[in-house]
Amino acid sequence: MTEEKKSKAYDPKEVEDALYKEWLEKGFFHGNENGTLPSYSIVIPPPNVTDILHLGHALNNTIQDILIRKNRMDGFDAEWMPGADHAGIATQVVVEKQLVKEGTTRRELGREKFHERTKAWAYRNKEYILGQLKRIGCSCDWERTRFTIDEELSNAVKEVFIRLYEKGWIYRGNRIVNWCPSCQTSLSDDEVEHEDRDGHLWYIKYKMKGSDTYLMVATTRPETMLGDTGLAVNPKDQRYKKFVGKTVILPILEREIPIVADAFVDLEFGTGVVKVTPAHDPNDFEIGQRHDLEQINILNNDGTLNANAGKFKGMDRYEARKELVKELEKKGHLEKTEKYDLSVGTCYRCHNTVEPYLSEQWFVKMDQLAAPAVEAVKNGELRFHPDYWSKTYLHWMENIRDWCISRQLWWGHRIPVYYCEDCNEQIVAREMPEKCPKCEGTKLYQDEDVLDTWFSSWLWPFSTFGWPQETAMLKKFYPTKVLVTASEIIFLWVARMVMAGYEFRGKLPFNDVYIHGTVRDANGVKMSKSLGNGIDPIEIIEKHGADALRISLVLATPDGQDPWIARNTFEGGRNFVNKLYQATRFVMMRMPEGQKFDASQPPKEDLILVDSWILSRLERTIEEVNRYISEFRLNAASKSLYSFTWNDFCSWYIELIKPDKPEDPIREGSLKVAIYVLDNIIRLLHPFIPFVTEEIGRKLNECLVHQRETLTFGPWPKAGALKKDAKLEESFNSIQSVVNAVRSVRAEMNVPPGKRSDLFVRITDREMGKLLEEYQDYFRSLAKINALHIGDKIKKPGLSASAVISGAEIFIPLEGLINVEQEKGRLEKELTGLKDQLEKVSKKLANQDYLKNAPKDVIEKDRARKTDIEDRVEKLNNNLEQLLGW
RNA sequence: GGGCGAUUAGCUCAGUUGGUUAGAGUGCUUGCUUGACAUGCAAGAGGUCACUGGUUCGAUUCCAGUAUCGCCCACCA
At A701-734, the pLDDT tens digits run 998 998 999 999 989 999 998 888 888 888 888 8
Residues A626-643, mean pLDDT to the nearest whole number: 93
Nearest nucleotide by C1' from A864 CA? B20
A784 touches strand B (CB under 7 A): no
Alpha carbons A430 and A710: distance in angstroms, whole number: 48
A848 touches strand B (CB under 7 A): no
Those residues with Cβ within 8 angstroms of residue A347's Cβ, 6 or more apart along the chain or in another chain: A180, A182, A183, A187, A191, A192, A193, A354
A256 touches strand B (CB under 7 A): no
**Dihedral-angle region of residue A442 (phi above 0 means left; psi in -120 to 50 means alpha; beta otherwise):** alpha
A7 touches strand B (CB under 7 A): yes
Strand partners, A356: A178
A841 touches strand B (CB under 7 A): yes
Cis peptide before A558 (omega within 30 of 0): no
Burial of A597 (0-12, 13-18, 19+ CB in 10 A): buried
A602 touches strand B (CB under 7 A): no
What own/partner pairs with CB < 8 Å and gap ≥ 24 does A2-11 have?
A8/A582, A8/A585, A9/A578, A10/A577, A10/A578, A10/A581, A10/A582, A10/A692
A488 touches strand B (CB under 7 A): yes
CA of A565 to C1' of B5 (A): 21
CA of A740 to C1' of B41 (A): 14
Residue A6's pLDDT is what? Answer: 53
| List of E strands, A715-864 | 757-763, 785-791, 800-805, 808-813
Strand partners, A404: A363
| List of E strands, A498-552 | 512-516
Pairing of strands A450-451, A757-763: unpaired
The answer to whether the CB of A741 falls within 8 A of the CB of A779 is: no
Burial of A548 (0-12, 13-18, 19+ CB in 10 A): buried
Which residue in A48, A51, A1 sits closest to A537, CA to CA?
A51
Identify the band that residue A7 occupies on the pLDDT scale cut at 50, 70 and 90. low
Residue A5's pLDDT is what? Answer: 47
A733 touches strand B (CB under 7 A): no
CA of A754 to C1' of B32 (A): 8
Residues A136-152, mean pLDDT to the nearest whole number: 95
Q: What percent of chain A has pLDDT over 90?
A: 45
A625 touches strand B (CB under 7 A): no
Nearest nucleotide by C1' from A277 CA? B77
pLDDT at A54 over 70: yes
pLDDT at A528 over 80: no
CA of A575 to C1' of B34 (A): 19
Pairing of strands A403-404, A247-249: unpaired
- 3-state class of A778 per DSSP? helix
Nearest nucleotide by C1' from A578 CA? B39
Nucleic strand B contacts from chain A, 737-766, CB < 7 Å: 740, 743-744, 747-748, 752-754
Side-chain half-sphere of A830: how many Cα atoms within 13 Å? 23
A564 touches strand B (CB under 7 A): yes
Alpha carbons A32 and A531: distance in angstroms, whole number: 43
A819 touches strand B (CB under 7 A): no
Residue A78's pLDDT is what? Answer: 97
Alpha carbons A355 and A282: distance in angstroms, whole number: 10
Mean of all residue pLDDT scores within chain A: 89
**Dihedral-angle region of residue A303 (phi above 0 means left; psi in -120 to 50 means alpha; beta otherwise):** left
A14 touches strand B (CB under 7 A): no
pLDDT at A150 over 80: yes
A532 touches strand B (CB under 7 A): no
Residue A735's pLDDT is what? Answer: 85
CA of A775 to C1' of B24 (A): 29
Which residue in A575, A759, A786, A780 sits closest to A658, CA to CA?
A780
Query: Which residue has the closest alpha carbon to B73 C1'?
Result: A396
CA of A19 to C1' of B61 (A): 48
A333 touches strand B (CB under 7 A): no
Residues A771-789, mean pLDDT to the nearest whole number: 80
A269 touches strand B (CB under 7 A): yes
A446 touches strand B (CB under 7 A): no
pLDDT at A617 over 80: yes
Residue A697's pLDDT is what? Answer: 96
pLDDT at A820 over 60: yes
Alpha carbons A230 and A290: distance in angstroms, whole number: 12
A330 touches strand B (CB under 7 A): no
Nearest-5° Cα angle at A836, A831 to A838? 90
Strand partners, A427: A418
CA of A324 to C1' of B10 (A): 55
Alpha carbons A13 and A692: distance in angstroms, whole number: 11
Those residues with Cβ within 8 angstroms of residue A732's Cβ, 6 or more apart along the chain or in another chain: A609, A610, A613
> What are the pLDDT digits (tens) for A333-381?
888 888 887 788 888 878 888 889 888 899 999 989 999 999 999 888 9
Q: Name the H helices within A231-381.
A: 282-291, 317-330, 367-378
**What DSSP line would sit under A20-57, residue for residue?**
HHHHHHTTTT---TTSSSPEEEEE--PPBTTS---HHH
CA of A847 to C1' of B57 (A): 7
Q: Cα separations (Å) of A273 from A226, A378, A676? A: 17, 43, 80
- Residue A402: DSSP 8-state: -
A843 touches strand B (CB under 7 A): no
CA of A844 to C1' of B55 (A): 20
Alpha carbons A458 and A466: distance in angstroms, whole number: 14
Q: Per mean pLDDT, which range of A321-330, A467-476, A676-685 is the poorest?
A: A321-330
Residues A396-412, mean pLDDT to the nearest whole number: 88
A399 touches strand B (CB under 7 A): yes
Residues A766-792, mean pLDDT to the nearest whole number: 81
Residues A266-284, mean pLDDT to the nearest whole number: 87
A12 touches strand B (CB under 7 A): no
Strand partners, A316: A304
The answer to whether the CB of A608 falls within 8 A of the CB of A670 is: yes
Residue A885's pLDDT is what? Answer: 67
pLDDT at A3 over 50: no
Nucleic strand B contacts from chain A, 376-395, CB < 7 Å: 388, 391-392, 395
Alpha carbons A284 and A286: distance in angstroms, whole number: 5
Residue A620's pLDDT is what? Answer: 93
Nearest nucleotide by C1' from A286 CA? B75
Residue A640's pLDDT is what? Answer: 94
Q: Cα separations (Å) of A848 from A367, A572, A858, A861, A870? A: 62, 51, 14, 17, 21
Residue A1's pLDDT is what? Answer: 34
Listed ranges A58-67, A299-308, A316-325; the one with the highest mean pLDDT: A58-67
Q: Cα separations (Å) of A300 from A317, A449, A619, A804? A: 10, 17, 69, 85
Query: Rounded to 10 degrees, what is the CA torsion of A446, A450, A451, A457?
Result: 120
What H or E segment, with its residue span, contains residue A589?
A: helix A569-589
The bases of strand B with some atom under 7 A from any protein CB are 3-5, 11-14, 19-21, 24-27, 30-44, 56-58, 71-77
Residues A274-280, mean pLDDT to the nearest whole number: 91
The answer to whether the CB of A493 falls within 8 A of the CB of A481 is: no
Pairing of strands A808-813, A757-763: antiparallel
Alpha carbons A300 and A281: distance in angstroms, whole number: 15
Q: Which residues of A124-145 are buried (b: 16+ CB within 10 A; e: fewer)?
A: ebbeebbebbbbbbbbbbbebb
Identify the band that residue A97 occupies on the pLDDT scale cut at 50, 70 and 90. confident
CA of A97 to C1' of B6 (A): 41
A316 touches strand B (CB under 7 A): no
Nucleic strand B contacts from chain A, 403-442, CB < 7 Å: none
pLDDT at A310 over 70: yes
The whole-angstrom distance between residue A325's C-alpha and the CA centroid of its chain comes to 47
Query: Which residue has the closest alpha carbon to B5 C1'?
Result: A388
A629 touches strand B (CB under 7 A): no
Which residue in A678, A682, A701, A711 sits closest to A586, CA to CA?
A678
Residues A544-569, mean pLDDT to the nearest whole number: 91
Side-chain half-sphere of A720: how many Cα atoms within 13 Å? 3
The answer to whether the CB of A186 falls within 8 A of the CB of A307 is: no
Q: Which residues of A272-308 are buried (b: 16+ CB within 10 A; e: fewer)?
A: bbbbbbbbbbebbbebbeebebebbbbbbeebbbbee
Listed ranges A269-283, A449-463, A745-759; the one with the highest mean pLDDT: A449-463
Which residue in A461, A458, A457, A456 sits closest to A79, CA to CA?
A461
pTM of the model: 0.91
Q: What percent of chain A has pLDDT over 70?
A: 98
pLDDT at A779 over 80: no
Residues A831-855, mean pLDDT to the nearest whole number: 85
A726 touches strand B (CB under 7 A): no
CA of A388 to C1' of B4 (A): 8
Residues A576-595, mean pLDDT to the nearest whole number: 92
Q: Per mean pLDDT, which range of A62-71, A149-158, A170-179 is the poorest?
A: A170-179
A571 touches strand B (CB under 7 A): yes
Q: Read off the amino acid at residue A313.
A: K
| List of E strands, A235-370 | 247-249, 256-261, 273-276, 334-347, 355-364
pLDDT at A754 over 80: no
A854 touches strand B (CB under 7 A): yes
CA of A161 to C1' of B47 (A): 60
CA of A392 to C1' of B52 (A): 31
Residue A877's pLDDT is what? Answer: 85
Residues A299-316, mean pLDDT to the nearest whole number: 89
A189 touches strand B (CB under 7 A): yes
